Amino acid sequence: MAEYLREAFGDAEYVTRDLSEADIPLIIGYWAGASDSWLEGLNVSRQRLGSEADMRARFSNMIRGVGDADRVAFVTECNGDVMSYSNIHIVDNGAAAYLHGHVIRKDMRGKGVGSVRFSSMLRMIIDEFGVKTVIAEPLASNVAVNRLHQSYGLTPDRKWLDTPDGLAEPGWYNLYYFTRDVLDSADVRATRARGLQKIEAGSA
């Protein structure tokens, strides 16, 4: 099981590594235990999520080296406990990858961690999988994730999608395209710095 990123900030250490079978029950719990309003906010239906067995099969297929090479999932641990997961879907003959991510631990959302780590994740995906572009396709109404992406100075391509990547239902989505150039921008550094400040203030 490969480890990709190890960063320490605030009073915690964050490690991003491959998904393993042992992580899957936690991810199933995140989806199976989600309220109707949470699922609505993500435009995901229980029908598309399927049964727990369907979810297990879907995530098992994203374990690197086990399932399809173009669908890979990672988890991030905070001080040894899984706090979030992400998955990529490589498309366009390896030139691009869709990225999906969820902070599973409610108590860790909105504290600045995404602002610090999202750019590290993007860089890791570009370096590790050789893609030129990482595409994020959040629902246009998802405030937190759109704020994070727009903090990079990007203007989203707002589109109605009948078949968004992943499991979501048709709807209005904001498409963002992250390249090395975007990651090297002053806006990305500023977002990271703002996230670090938020974390330091929270752990002080």
Ligand X SMILES: CC(C)(COP(=O)(O)OP(=O)(O)OC[C@H]1O[C@@H](n2cnc3c(N)ncnc32)[C@H](O)[C@@H]1OP(=O)(O)O)[C@@H](O)C(=O)NCCC(=O)NCCS
Judged by the rule CB under 6 A, the positions of this chain that interact with ligand X are 100-103, 109-115, 138, 142-145, 147-148, 151, 194-195
- Beta carbon nearer to ligand X, 110 or 130: 110
Nearer to ligand X (CB atom), residue 93 or residue 107:
107
Residue among 73 and 103 whose Cβ is closer to ligand X: 103
Q: How far apart are CA 56 and CA 76, in angstroms?
A: 19
Min dist. Cβ of residue 79 to ligand X (A): 16
Judge whether 179 and 133 are in contact, CB under 8 Å. Answer: yes
CB of 152 to ligand X, least distance (A): 11
Q: Report in angstroms how near the CB of residue 156 gets to ligand X at its nearest.
A: 12
What's the token pair of residue 161? 């999608």
Whether residue 5 contacts residue 121, with contact meaning beta carbons closer than 8 Å, is answered with yes
Which lies closer to ligand X via its Cβ, residue 22 or residue 143?
A: 143
Nearer CB in complex with ligand X: 76/90: 76
Closest distance of CB 87 from ligand X, Å: 11
| Cα separation, 108 vs 58, whole angstroms | 25
C-alpha to C-alpha distance for 182 and 157, rounded to whole angstroms? 15
From the CB of 189, what's the least distance to ligand X, in Å? 14
**Planar angle of CA 198, 174, 64, nearest 5 degrees:** 75
- Residue of closest CB approach to ligand X: 114
Burial class (CB in 10 A: 0-12, 13-18, 19+), 146: middle
| Angle of CA points 136, 139, 145, to nearest 5° | 60
Cβ 24 to ligand X shortest distance, Å: 18
Classify residue 167 by its DSSP letter: T
CB 70 within 8 A of CB 90: yes
Nearer to ligand X, 10 or 195 (CB): 195
Residue 194 has what DSSP assignment? H
